[in-house]
Structure 1
Amino acid sequence: MERTVQFNLTVEGRLTTSAMTNTTQSGREFVTFTIVHQDQYRDHTGKWVDAKPMFFDIVCWGKLAGHVRNLTRGTIVVIEGGRLLGYINDNELAGLKVEARNVSLSMRFGEAHPGPAKRTRRADLVTTADGEQITADAYPDVVTDRELLHH
């Protein structure tokens, strides 16, 4: 039997997976993704040491689910959560399942951009099957095979 606890949590982490949309048996939509938070601390010598990573499985319901469905792997977010269920994941690292009340983009390490991130490769040329060379930044979503890129 699962037991949930009501509490307040704010945590910043990087998405380890892109957001996935699912539905319950009754048709209610929800979005899930996993974030990892890894803190640093100073040891007894004063040297900075990475703490063990902590994983959080996040679930979003309702309008929030609609807003976060396009989050992609690598995005840094700040989660405000309320209900949780603790567990040990496959790697025997502690983790928490958290129901999010709010999700925000973290701007501590970079700028936030609305919508899905567009990957560009400036100055790379793509050779099409017809032998035509096109700049990769003109077609950022089409080119995924690195062997097609020529510098």
Structure 2
Amino acid sequence: MVESRMTITGNLTRDPQLRIGSRTGDPFAALAVAVNNRRLDKESGQWVTTGTTYFDVLCWGALGANALRSFSKGDPVIVHGKFRLREWTSDTGPRVNPTVDADSIGPDLTFGTAAFSRGSSTYGLDRVEEHDPDQDPSGEDGLDALADEDGVVSDEQAAVLAARGGMAEDVEDREAA
């Protein structure tokens, strides 16, 4: 099976919405992203918008819960995922809507800065820590414990950290910083 994957950059046209799958009953986030088609006008030397394409972006699982907590209308985003055309028939005839089932989504830092917090949200929008240091059999606390005196972490140690789900800092410590 051939899947079309794509990356889009654009702005959210509304706040992300919590939806429930009609077949699975699973919650997910639905986002609407406007992507401006731009080109350089050779005569004026200015970039001009020649049209806008609107995409529905569907975020499943923890990605959807995190998107609901992280984004709001107007935010610039970068989305990567599986592209498909969703077709249906309405009272006015056949309709087609471009849709991206997101593998990843994040803020577009071309237009500003962002702060990142490890962990994930639930669909109740509570923060859930992904890693409990008390349950860590390695006894290491996170990135600081793996770094040498120069702050360098070896590739092997970074792989160990990534495999166990990231740094083990407390959520309150990160939010206080």
TM-score, normalisation: structure 2? 0.53
Correspondence for 2:58:
59
Correspondence for 1:118:
none
| Cα offsets for 1:13-55 (capped at 9, x unmatched) | 1000100011124321111010111132123525432120111
Q: Which residue type is aligned with residue 85 of structure 2?
A: L
Matched length: 107
Task: Pick the structure with more helix per residue.
Answer: 2
Identity %: 23
Higher relative contact order (CA 8 A, sep 6+): 1
| Cα offsets for 1:40-90 (capped at 9, x unmatched) | 212352543212011111011111111101221011110001131156xx9
Map residues 71-150 of structure 1 onto 2, 5 A cutoff.
Answer: 71-85=71-85, 96-113=98-115
- Relative to structure 1, is the Cα distance of residues 41 and 86 closer, same or farther in structure 2, using a 3 angstrom cutoff? farther
SS of the equivalent of 2:66 reads helix
Correspondence for 2:20:
23
SS of the equivalent of 1:53 reads strand
Q: Which residue type is aligned with residue 36 of structure 1?
A: A
Unaligned runs of 5+ in 2: 118-177
Task: Pick the structure with more strand per residue.
Answer: 1
Q: For residues 22 and 58 of structure 1, what CA distance do their matches in structure 2 show? A: 12
Correspondence for 2:8:
11
Q: For residues 95 and 39 of structure 1, what CA distance do their matches in structure 2 show? A: 17
Q: What is the CA RMSD across the aligned residues, in angstroms?
A: 2.6
Which aligned segments of 4 or more residues in structure 1 are displaced greater than 6 angstroms?
none
Unaligned runs of 5+ in 1: 116-151
